[in-house]
Amino acid sequence: MKITPFYRALNSTALRMLLCTIAASSACRAHAQWVPFDSLPGAQRVSAIESPGGSAGRVSDVRWDIPGGRVWFQYAGKWKSVALSGDATVTVPEGTEPPAAAARPQTYRAPKGGRAKQATRVPSPDGAWNAVFQDCNVLLEPEGEPANRAAIHATDNGTNKHWFGSADWVYGEELDQNSAMWWSPDSKLIAYYDFDESPVKEYVLLGGLTTTRTRALSAGYPKPGDQNPIAKLEIYNLATGKRTPIDVGSDPEQYVYGVEWTPKCDALLWFRCNRRQDTLQLMATDPVTGASRTLITEKQSTWQKNSPALQFLADGSRFLWESESNGFSNWELWDLNKGKLLRLTDDPWVSESIVNIDEASGWMYYSARSSKTGINSQLHRVQLDGSRRERLTTEDLHYSSFLVAPDNAHFVATKQFVDVPPSASLYTMDGKEVAQLTKPAADPYGKKGMPKPEFLRVTAADGKTELYGILYKPKDFDPSRSYPLVVDAYGGPLIATVSPRFGSYEAQTELGVLIAKVDNRGTPGRGKAFEDATYMKLGGADVDDQAQLVKELSKRPYVDSKRVAIMGHSYGGYMALMAVLRYPQTFQVAVAGAPPTDWRQYDTIYTERAMRTPQENAEGYDAGSAVKLATTLKGRVLLLHGMVDDNVHPSNTFAIAQVWQASNIPFEMMLFPNADHGIGSPAYESAKWSFILRNFGMWSQAPLGAPAAGAEPAAAAAAPDAGNAAKPMKPE
């Protein structure tokens, strides 16, 4: 059959009209409820923002000349020197600096898998073998000479539901298990997971949504109250070829993770935690017999930190242990055979990390949040016999980059704050500043024409707890004007977003908005009482505190309390939904990226740690469910979700969308067919900011037939004809 091309069937007049239409449409942009970010008014100003910089005041490569009484350091590419007694800093010729200290022996570091995944190939410390996870088993492949060695099948009975040498998604994501095969330091033994996922129900996503055939992406994913995988451990002895099962206990609900060898290879250490996650045990296993004993038990009335820090001393038997038994992270000294030796610190603030251990002098140096401002780090030291404890830095600023002199009489540290540029100084151990090694940069924000970020101290919704936040303003900020407010939220357990470090900025303020963030109760770093405020009631105190931030900022005349948006991703997306649902008078707009909309939809380990199971805490699950509250929506919501999100499944977004559709409640949604939890599409930012500005009345899409609004040339046209412009939102 012969087919006449359609354009030949048109008469000349119709053809001319068609060509004119095509030509006209080719000059226009696509139309939607959003535009590319660079087409929004103010976008060019956003792209022109330059970082104020946060590293100018730091030094590098510090070298101590104790006999000569000087310290040498590199700054801005040049060697400088200053007397330990304090004098003017001098620049010295290249090559006259003292030699670098002898490099520490390179320690073995096993490779790690990606997020929520375990490494599938792990070399032995001596380089002679590679442990490979292959066909659900552990295979030991020879490396190097002699070349005729055969591979060893350490295990051969793994199946697709019960394997050796790997874990699964929930262990990787929530217990940070990115390894599942652990070589002993002498390379003679290897421990590995015996992992049974057969009790776990599968969750199926659809891949290939943009292709001619979809494919099932199936993986085990235990949801709250479901059965968990059963984790056990084995040890394989390369000399004897013997597999030794480890006694992990008989509780099928427990978690087994955090595996490491002792320095002398005389024990395998690992954590055992009950399903409720209020009790954690550090276990020690005899590698010959597989017998296990409990070294330490930590217990909380809420949930216990699942990976306390542990660091061995030089004798390979004593170790430092992080304990939260008094409600704050502190340090204890333990011995593998003698048990607890003493509690080194017992402070009412959070200890952070070990900076240095000098066993010859008996000092352990560590950072802790002992400042009046509870997110600022200070340098402390304690004698390993517990006889002396000292705080070495004094100002209410954030100290970091600590370097302690070999004679334990001096140290170098960098101090800074949100609005204080960093500078490095030499100190004595009484906290006295001997010499300023670098000067803080002069007004870095001002030189960029940017207002400094404002550090916020806000009283929480409980009327007594102090919260910390940051407020960002646009370059042309005018306190006599009124600005919409955008709250950038996360707010969930385990992650804090407000940093005391200098140099942060939010370029999107150039769109003409204020941006604020706050670490609400329930976030880490402030002690257990602060962190436990949301226990069994996610979506409660955390959301209350976000609303309290807005209420406090709304007292300022330049904050437009009638135009407030909240945006966030993952837990932040959940916060955005709960905020607009629970506080419709406070939040009028919400953008929720990949939100867990009902905690019954998320995984066991994360959710049950904070909420227990739905069977134990049905009331808490209901109160914290955005789906249960969905019909109360009064504000404007945009949902964003990746269709192959294996973390927060897209069913979360579909569940709340279905309620709104069934109730005929307007909302907007954008789905990303090939995106996982991170999404990563430029359309994400474009849709988010288009939605916010449109609902603030600061941008509107031109109607069909009208000239398409350009980027910055249309900044003046961002308010086109009054009849076409979006009206500012009215308060509900």
Residue 614: left (phi > 0), alpha (psi -120 to 50), or beta?
Answer: alpha
Contact, 606 vs 593, CB < 8 A? no
Separation of alpha carbons 577 and 587, rounded Å: 10
Secondary structure in 3-state letters for 604-617: HHHHHHHHCCCCCC
Pairing of strands 483-488, 559-569: parallel
Contact, 470 vs 517, CB < 8 A? yes
Give 464-467's long-range contacts (Cβ < 8 A, gap of 24+): 465/521, 465/530, 465/533, 466/374, 467/518, 467/519, 467/520, 467/521, 467/545, 467/548, 467/549
677 is catalytic: yes
423 is catalytic: no
Main-chain dihedrals φ then ψ at residue 367, nearest 5 degrees = -100, 150
Quickly count: other Cβ atoms within 10 Å of residue 239's Cβ: 7
CA dihedral for 574, 576, 577, 581, sign (positive or negative)? positive
When computed from its CA atoms, the radius of gyration of the chain, rounded to whole angstroms, is 30
Element (H, E) at 327: none
Separation of alpha carbons 645 and 11, rounded Å: 52
Catalytic one among 570, 686, 690, 700?
570
Catalytic one among 488, 544, 545, 645?
645
645 is catalytic: yes
Rounded to the nearest 10 degrees, the angle between the axes of helix 541-553 and helix 571-582 is 70
Q: What order do you get walking across the sheet with 454-459 strand by strand?
A: 454-459, 466-472, 514-519, 483-488, 559-569, 589-593, 636-642, 668-672
Separation of alpha carbons 697 and 720, rounded Å: 11
Residue 675: left (phi > 0), alpha (psi -120 to 50), or beta?
Answer: beta
Separation of alpha carbons 550 and 586, rounded Å: 7
Catalytic one among 519, 649, 677, 700?
677
Maximum distance among all Cα pairs of the chain, rounded to whole angstroms: 101
Separation of alpha carbons 455 and 345, rounded Å: 30
CA dihedral for 614, 620, 624, 627, sign (positive or negative)? positive
CA dihedral for 421, 423, 429, 431, sign (positive or negative)? negative
> Annotated catalytic sites, by residue?
570, 645, 677
